[in-house]
Amino acid sequence: MIIPDCIVNDRLKPDFTLNPGRQETYVFPADILEETAALFPAPWIHYGGDEVHFANSQWTDIPEVKALMNEHGLNDLKDVEHYFNRRMADEIHRLGKKTVAWDEVVDAGIDPDESIIIWWRHNMPEQLEKALERGYAVVLSPRRPYYLDFIQHGTHDVGRRWDGFNDLEQVYRFSDFPAEQILGMQASVWTETIQTKERADFMIFPRLTAIAETVWTDAANKDYACYRNRLRDLLYRYDVLDINYFDPFAPEKTPEPQE
């Protein structure tokens, strides 16, 4: 995809942040959203809405952004981010779709009746609480322990850590929240450190089975020891199907793929 030069922050090239002070900025993603809505019949569009702060520090130096802030009474860069998110959500809703976005968008004031929040920041439970209090439907996908690009054993070198890692037992024991607004769980696998199918399989299996069982099992019926016993038989199936996997019973058995 080629981003038109007219909407990129001139002072931030070649970085990725767009200039929210230019009206062309809103036309470009609106065109993409319209085409997406036409191509896919699903009732939702997930547009992200997160991590803008990594490259927006120079927004305050851009005349168009200053003008936008003055016109709409925006006090800081966070307000500008929220304004952009509301514009994008309004466009999605105009197309007859529901907005799906990461938990940063809870603070933007988009319509809870037309939106679904994915809670991903495990270290910010207040964002989950806020989303539920404000009436949003929520999907749980916390980095710890549901990001499968995090390493799963202390001997592994490649992959992410965040004050620890996501081993099989942590994945299995993650507790559901009994709120009616919780739609379900989501496992996420980001591929910055995953370049081959062999490594993808190694990171996904067997942790994906722990997620599947814990999502579909009432908390009172969850039994990690029983799950581990049944997992032994499943690993034989992986061997037959030529699926690479991490063996939690013998961590040294499957060397960690480096790419």
The confidence score (pLDDT) of residue 22 equals 93
**How many residues are there in the chain?**
259
- Among all chains, which residue has been given the structure tokens 């993808």? 200
Q: What is the pTM of this model?
A: 0.88
Low-confidence residues in the chain, pLDDT < 70: 1-16, 176-177, 259
Could you give the domains of the chain? 5-140 (3.20.20.80)
Query: What is the per-residue pLDDT for 15?
Result: 55
- Count other C-beta atoms under 10 Å from residue 2's C-beta: 4
pLDDT at position 10, please? 46
DSSP 154-217: TT--SSB-SSS---HHHHHHPPP---TTEEEE--B---TT--SHHHHHHHHTTHHHHHHHHHHS
E-strand spans in the chain?
Answer: 44-48, 98-102, 115-119, 137-140, 182-185
CA 178/CA 59 separation, integer angstroms: 41
CB under 8 Å to 26, separation ≥6 — which residues? Answer: 87, 88, 91
Torsion angles phi and psi, residue 115, rounded to 5:
-140, 155
Q: Is 237 left (phi over 0), alpha (psi -120 to 50) or beta?
A: alpha
Per-residue pLDDT, 259: 63
Per-residue pLDDT, 157? 86
Lookup result for tokens 């769980």: 185
User: In this predicted structure, what is the pLDDT of residue 179?
Assistant: 75
Q: Would you tell me how many other CB atoms lie within 10 Å of the CB of residue 37?
A: 17
pLDDT value at residue 257: 81
Torsion sign (Cα): 190, 195, 199, 201: positive
pLDDT, position 128: 95
How many angstroms separate the CA atoms of 182 and 255, rounded? 37
> Nearest to residue 208, comparing CAs of 251, 148, 120?
148
